[in-house]
Structure 1
Amino acid sequence: MGIKFKKDEITNRTLFFLVASLLMILGSIYNIQSFSECKEVYEERQLIEETQERIFIEENQEKEDEKGQCSPTNSVVFVKTHKTASSTLQNIFLRYGLKHDLKIALPKNSGNRFYYPQPFGEWMLKEFPDGEKPVIIANHLRASNELYDTFPGAKRITILRDIPSLYESSFGYMKDTSAPYRKAGNIETFYANPDAFYNHQNPVGPHGNDVFARNHLAFDLGLEWTKLEKIHESIEYLDKTLDLVVLSDYFKESMILLRNELCWEWEDVLFFVTNERSEKKPISDDLAQKMREWNSFDNAIYDHFNSSFWDKVESYPNFDEDMKILETKLEEIKRFCLAGEKVCPPNDRSCQYNPGGGIKLKAFELSETGKKSVLCQHMIMPELSLSKKIFKKQWPGWKNFYEN
């Protein structure tokens, strides 16, 4: 056995050296310098593959962690400012509440505003039969600290609009119901000498409509809007109090920030612009400057949050990609829901609330597929109609709305 073993060993060694010699010859033909070089190449490739796999795992884990940290917000305080596309944004919040069967705050007097122009108080809320508390509030009100205390843990959101555009809209919409505007007759006359028409002793007016003649953003936000020395202090307060301030001038950009802030689905932030006038007056540079000066409180608020808005956009990862997604989805929902647009004649109650004065508002007509979709129906539903639907859903047997 021992002799046989040695013969086999010799034979194996001979075969080994023959194979090794052959590999060296082949190696020289293909310019492979040594077996050690092959080993280094192999180990380097293996290291690269292992590193790529680790990075992939870590990136996916980070994505999973981000998803885990982000849960949808189900409680929102929306400070609905006037003439800022706030009805379009309100529609988004009310739709979300209906979709998820959340309790939505509405006024105890069965109206559409929370006793505006009074500062909000919890006593204004219509109570629920089961004693539970609402988690979403989105109808017109004047903000107060009690508002935020009444909805602890809610995301606090409002919307602003550039001053010339805002006050052209305010004048056009409120020219017959706001005494300073009515006295002036036209916007150029008013801004030529606003002090001649504005009541400094009673700037709110008997029904709250006169406030639209000056700094009504600051008023809606619950600030001391007539005290210009409080501007800086007031902006600091808003910075600390509000979670997100969006801009109607950049509504699509705003919806991307809103979706991110609330961790909602794309469907939840889709929109059609509602309550929009079909006719608008062009604004000269001179008139725009007079508007900014007269409404300096609002102008300072807008300038501040316009700056912070773009800071958020710039720091948002993949913002352009999300914009493309939103624009695609807006086109898809438009094709699915709408047959076209129409202009509501003045005082047509089937459209959005219209204060009269010959104002023409845009509205939408549903397609055949849109008529069968709850989402489409809600997206074009006027503010008063949607509020009525919520009243009836949350308070069975309810009938009254603005006494009719």
Structure 2
Amino acid sequence: KSHEELLIPSTPCRAKTNIMFLKTHKTASSTVLNIMFRFAERYNLTVALPAGQLVHLGYPKTFLASFVEEFQVIGQNYNIMCNHLRFNPSEVQKVMAANTFYFSILRNPIPLLESSYVYYKDSVPAFRTSKDVNEYLASPMKYYHPEDYKQNIYARNIMWFDFGYDNNAENNKKYIQAVLKEIEQNFHLILIADYFDESMILLKHILCWDLDDVIYFKLNSRSQDTVQTLTLKSKEQIKAWCSLDWKLYLHFNQSFWRRIEETIGFEKLEKEVNHLRMRQKELMETCLSDQEAVGKDHIKNKALLPFQSGATDILGYNLKQDLDNRTLRTCQKMVMPELQYTSYLYAVQHPHKKRKQLGLPLLWTSFQEK
């Protein structure tokens, strides 16, 4: 018998629909959130949305079940949880079913810190008082004051913080090992933003989803002209200053590639990544008038304008005119920014509740299912 015939056919799997995504900061997580929201709509799933006028699940407070809209009524019957929260497993488990799949995403702390710096420049005391990212990194303690730790979370080990740990903890080997072990116990999968397409293919395989479930347009990215160039010295400094995030990243970057090897293999991965990119290109040609993301001043439909922050120019999209209703709906959802999509789902899921006031020109009618 040929080698092919000897391979045991893989048993067909069932798509996982109970999923908790820990949405980390500046890690391409808004794009993942959009994927999760579209999946939830496609399969008519219930999303654990922020209660009342909240846009996050209580972040940066440690998560409590009461931060979820109608938790008292719905109980443990939510399928999807993916808005920003600070991880707290015992409380998340009150909301999500026992068979929930937990995953998150990490990014190399070097580009991550630069991204945080520009995005949170106006709101983080440690960033506000320094001239640029290199000046900040030359002597971070000059700008980073312990008494401001709550406002300064984005300035040091933000991923560590998002996972529920102390981002100012000592760089102690035993402690770090214990945390990494705990994260491995709490999460079934950790993706790597620096290899986003590969991450989506791995996610698709593990969740038993279709390719179309993980097709995306990059959301909440910024224009290149706001990127500050890090010096070599700054890059090295980040590894020391954000040593907890650095260890976290190194550890899960290794396990990510191991997982790819075990689950898919590199040859198949390459094929599927190419397939994903082709499909993405097709959809961009179908949906977008500019074939690419555009700066905030060039977004024609202000209802599709992403939230702007700091010195960044957060990019968005213009849809083609004259799309038929079905295509328009698909395209709108693919480009819908996080706050608008959260609000939209909230209105659909909790029609009797007061809508979230985002201070954005929300053209509700254009998003309502026709």
TM over 0.5: yes
Superposed displacement of residue 375, structure 1: 2.0
Contact 2:121 2:311 in 1 (8 A): no
Contact 1:277 1:362 in 2 (8 A): yes
Name the amino acid aligned to 1:139: N
Superposed displacement of residue 331, structure 1: 1.7
Aligned pair 1:78/2:30, yes or no?
no
Superposed displacement of residue 120, structure 1: 0.8
Contact 2:107 2:194 in 1 (8 A): yes
Superposed displacement of residue 245, structure 1: 0.7
Encode CA deviations 1:147-181: one digit per residue, 9 max, x unaligned: 44121211111111111100000000001000111
Contact 1:353 1:384 in 2 (8 A): yes
Instruction: Please give the residue correspondences for 1:374-389 in structure 2 after superposition, counting only pairs within 5 Å.
Output: 374-389=329-344
Name the amino acid aligned to 2:216: F
Aligned to 1:103: 46
Q: Name which of 217, 224, 240 aligns with 2:159.
A: 217
Aligned to 2:244: 297
Contact 2:134 2:231 in 1 (8 A): no
Unaligned runs of 5+ in 2: 360-370
Superposed displacement of residue 323, structure 1: 2.0
Superposed displacement of residue 403, structure 1: 6.7
Name the amino acid aligned to 1:328: M
Superposed displacement of residue 108, structure 1: 1.5
Aligned to 2:83: 139
State the secondary structure of the residue aligned to 2:11: helix
Using the size of structure 1 for normalisation, the TM-score is 0.79
Name the amino acid aligned to 1:93: M
Distance in structure 1 (CA, Å) of the matches to 2:271 and 2:57: 39
Aligned pair 1:343/2:295, yes or no?
yes
Distance in structure 1 (CA, Å) of the matches to 2:269 and 2:50: 38
Instruction: Please give the residue correspondences for 1:216-255 in structure 2 after superposition, counting only pairs within 5 Å.
Output: 216-228=158-170, 229=172, 230-255=175-200
Distance in structure 2 (CA, Å) of the matches to 1:131 and 1:292: 43
Distance in structure 2 (CA, Å) of the matches to 1:72 and 1:324: 22
Distance in structure 1 (CA, Å) of the matches to 2:178 and 2:4: 47
Instruction: Please give the residue correspondences for 1:103-252 in structure 2 after superposition, counting only pairs within 5 Å.
Output: 103-127=46-70, 131=74, 133-150=77-94, 151=96, 152-205=98-151, 210-228=152-170, 229=172, 230-252=175-197
Q: 1:196 to 1:129 in 2, by over 3 A?
A: closer
Using the size of structure 2 for normalisation, the TM-score is 0.86
Contact 2:304 2:317 in 1 (8 A): no
Superposed displacement of residue 272, structure 1: 0.7
Distance in structure 1 (CA, Å) of the matches to 2:112 and 2:282: 30
Aligned pair 1:367/2:320, yes or no?
yes
Aligned pair 1:313/2:265, yes or no?
no
Unaligned runs of 5+ in 1: 1-50
Encode CA deviations 1:118-155: one digit per residue, 9 max, x unaligned: 11111111117963631111111100122441212111
**Greater alpha carbon shift after TM alignment, 359-368 vs 264-273:** 359-368
Encode CA deviations 1:44-85: one digit per residue, 9 max, x unaligned: xxxxxxx57x975x65xx43x521xx1101011111001111
Distance in structure 1 (CA, Å) of the matches to 2:62 and 2:354: 27
Name the amino acid aligned to 1:79: L
Higher helix share: 1
Larger radius of gyration, structure 1 or 2?
1
Aligned length: 342
Q: Name which of 268, 278, 288 aligns with 2:213.
A: 268
Name the amino acid aligned to 2:295: V
Encode CA deviations 1:96-122: one digit per residue, 9 max, x unaligned: 001111000112133211111111111
State the secondary structure of the residue aligned to 2:103: strand
State the secondary structure of the residue aligned to 2:40: helix
Please report the RMSD computed on the Cα atoms of aligned residues, expressed in angstroms.
Answer: 2.3
Contact 1:337 1:371 in 2 (8 A): no
State the secondary structure of the residue aligned to 1:159: strand
Name the amino acid aligned to 2:281: E
Distance in structure 2 (CA, Å) of the matches to 1:371 and 1:203: 50
Name the amino acid aligned to 2:183: L
Contact 2:347 2:355 in 1 (8 A): no
Name the amino acid aligned to 1:149: Q
Distance in structure 1 (CA, Å) of the matches to 2:345 and 2:78: 12
**Greater alpha carbon shift after TM alignment, 143-152 vs 153-162:** 143-152
Superposed displacement of residue 358, structure 1: 4.1
Superposed displacement of residue 224, structure 1: 2.7
Encode CA deviations 1:8-48: one digit per residue, 9 max, x unaligned: xxxxxxxxxxxxxxxxxxxxxxxxxxxxxxxxxxxxxxxxx
Q: Which has the higher contact order (CA 8 A, sep 6+)?
A: 2
Name the amino acid aligned to 1:241: N
Superposed displacement of residue 363, structure 1: 1.0
Name the amino acid aligned to 1:164: I
Q: Name which of 303, 322, 346 aligns with 2:272.
A: 322
Name the amino acid aligned to 1:306: N
Q: 1:162 to 1:76 in 2, by over 3 A?
A: same
Q: 1:80 to 1:272 in 2, by over 3 A?
A: same
Q: What is the percentage of aligned positions where both structures have the same residue?
A: 28
Aligned to 2:346: 391
Query: Which runs of 4 or more aligned residues in structure 1 lie more than 6 Å from their structure 2 counterparts after TM superposition?
Result: 346-349
Contact 1:336 1:369 in 2 (8 A): no
Q: Name which of 33, 40, 44 aligns with 1:90.
A: 33
State the secondary structure of the residue aligned to 1:364: coil
Distance in structure 2 (CA, Å) of the matches to 1:327 and 1:335: 12
Q: 1:358 to 1:350 in 2, by over 3 A?
A: farther
Name the amino acid aligned to 1:153: N
Contact 1:128 1:395 in 2 (8 A): no
Distance in structure 2 (CA, Å) of the matches to 1:403 and 1:84: 23
Distance in structure 2 (CA, Å) of the matches to 1:96 and 1:107: 18
